[in-house]
Amino acid sequence: MEITPKFIADGMLGSLARWLRLAGFDTEYFSGKDKYFLAYKARNEKRLVLTRDRKFFENNRTISVFIEAEDLRAQLKEVRNKLKLELVNEKLFTICSLCNLPLEEKKVEEVIGLVPEYVAKTQKHFSQCKKCGKIYWQGTHWERMLNFIKTINHED
């Protein structure tokens, strides 16, 4: 059985963290300075560190992946290539992009008044983050994100 990796994105990789969450990967974001704590947290929570800090990577090769690319698209490709990840899977849009917590499915009755009226009228599937309350639905923004991830998946 294949185990889905969990990540901690080191500083400067905040966008990458949000996109990995949207792709369904449990990804914490670490903005602290204490790299010993980062390594400890990674080991403790069995997370792989995604980092642009070469020194950290050299000292922690077994628990980290060095990200060379600077822009998001290239970073996502790098993660996919280095870890042989499938970015489009059944877990797409199951984790809050802000909080890294699992989303709960909601019925349209439950989100009336919380989403724009036209959205409540046209969409059927909603999910919500328990922590921040953000509601996700399969609108145009969703489609754009899905297409972005799909095109990355088809590039080398």
| Residues found near Zn ion in the complex (CB under 5 A) | 96, 98-99, 129, 131-132, 134
Looking at the DSSP assignment, which residues form a beta bridge with residue 128? 104, 135
What is the pairing mode between strands 135-137 and 103-106?
unpaired
Distance CA 7, CA 64 (A): 9
- Closest distance to Zn ion from the beta carbon of 131 (Å): 5
- Closest distance to Zn ion from the beta carbon of 97 (Å): 8
- Closest distance to Zn ion from the beta carbon of 96 (Å): 3
Distance CA 84, CA 46 (A): 18
